[in-house]
């Protein structure tokens, strides 16, 4: 018991944040759990305007979950409504606050939201607070990602030990890459001499979260060695399209794309995975 108590006290101290939050920064006394793939949503009302940028969840002792998902939902008549954003963490640690980057999403003071947690790969142990029924949480049917609806059971529990840190609206964060850019297409150079041609590959920007309405994206193609290292720019100066035609000099190497997102609040760069080794055919 003593090691668990010490761990809880240390975790509670570490949870304190000078930033405004949506949720509960205290380690509650109630010990709760959900089975693999069961999401549970808890109601909270935001005390301030801001942008989400980090999620924190206290994972209880002896938790068997190998993955942790955190979701933010709009309120729909006293129940979870539209899923606003979600984030994933692998190998959550028991007896501790677990922090994970969270997509940028605006929240408004005085507005109700639902904060949901989900364990994958095993039972998730967490902390919350029993109620007299005036405040309730709701669980979902088994899933591996945050569900589109919660239709399972209502519970007399609230105040899960979990929260989202908020950045003030006066200091909106720069765009954040949610999923990396991708490249696909024909990774070959065909033929020799007259009539030979390079395959065409296409890039996507990936997925981004931004605190501003207007975000612009630019592309830069890079040639890397066969192992995907030592990358250098290859595209010409000026506006660069999201398509690229392979040249003979790139046979035996790999390619990747660099996407830069620019908004009034900052600039962020993200990289695709490198392509397969370019072949000649």
| Class of residue 30 by CB neighbours under 10 A (exposed 0-12, middle 13-18, buried 19+) | middle
pLDDT at residue 238, as a whole number: 57
**CA pair distance 102, 56, nearest whole angstrom:** 9
**CA pair distance 243, 184, nearest whole angstrom:** 10
Model confidence band, residue 4 (pLDDT cutoffs 50, 70, 90): very low
**CA pair distance 14, 167, nearest whole angstrom:** 19
211 Cβ contact partners less than 8 Å away, ≥ 6 residues apart: 51, 104, 106, 172, 173, 175, 263, 265
Return the closest-CA partner of residue 95 out of 59, 52, 124, 130: 59
**CA pair distance 162, 232, nearest whole angstrom:** 43
Tell me the C-alpha to C-alpha distance, in Å, between residue 19 and each of 25, 108, 166, 168, 172. Answer: 11, 15, 6, 8, 13
**CA pair distance 166, 229, nearest whole angstrom:** 37
51-88 pLDDT, tens digit each: 898 999 999 999 999 999 999 999 999 999 999 999 99
User: All domains of the chain, ordered by start, with CATH?
Assistant: 2-167 (2.60.120), 176-280 (2.60.40.2700)
CB contact at 8 A, 61 and 2: no
145-194 pLDDT, tens digit each: 899 889 889 999 999 999 999 988 777 778 888 789 999 999 999 988 88
pLDDT at 1 over 80: no
| Class of residue 23 by CB neighbours under 10 A (exposed 0-12, middle 13-18, buried 19+) | buried
Does this model's pTM top 0.75? My answer is no
Angle of CA points 62, 70, 138, to nearest 5°: 85
Return the closest-CA partner of residue 251 out of 225, 279, 274, 219: 279
5-57 pLDDT, tens digit each: 333 333 443 444 556 899 999 999 999 999 999 999 999 999 899 889 899 99
């Amino acid at each position: 018991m003593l090691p668990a108590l010490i761990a809880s006290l240390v975790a509670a101290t570490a949870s304190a944040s000078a930033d405004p939050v949506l949720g509960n920064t205290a380690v509650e006394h109630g010990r709760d759990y959900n089975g693999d793939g069961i999401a549970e949503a808890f109601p909270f009302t935001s005390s301030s305007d801001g942008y989400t940028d980090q999620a924190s969840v206290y994972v209880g002792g002896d938790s068997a979950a190998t993955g942790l998902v955190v979701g933010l939902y709009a309120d729909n008549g006293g129940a979870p409504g539209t899923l606003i954003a979600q984030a994933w963490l692998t190998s959550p640690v028991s007896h501790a606050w677990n922090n994970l980057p969270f997509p940028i999403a605006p929240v408004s003071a005085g507005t109700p939201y639902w904060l949901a947690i989900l364990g994958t790969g095993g039972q998730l142990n967490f902390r919350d607070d029993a109620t007299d029924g005036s405040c309730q949480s709701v669980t979902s049917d088994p899933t591996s990602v945050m569900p589109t609806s919660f239709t399972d059971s209502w519970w007399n529990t609230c105040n899960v030990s979990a929260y989202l840190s908020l950045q003030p609206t006066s200091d909106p964060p720069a765009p954040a890459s949610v999923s990396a850019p991708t490249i696909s297409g024909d990774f070959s150079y065909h033929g020799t001499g007259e009539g030979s041609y390079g395959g065409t590959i296409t890039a996507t920007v990936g997925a981004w979260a931004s605190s501003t309405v207007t975000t612009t994206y630019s592309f830069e193609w890079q040639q890397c060695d066969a192992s995907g290292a030592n990358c250098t720019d290859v595209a010409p100066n000026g506006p660069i399209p999201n398509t690229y035609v392979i040249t003979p000099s790139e046979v035996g190497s790999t390619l990747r794309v660099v996407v830069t997102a620019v908004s009034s609040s900052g600039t962020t760069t993200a990289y695709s995975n490198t392509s397969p080794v370019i072949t000649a055919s």
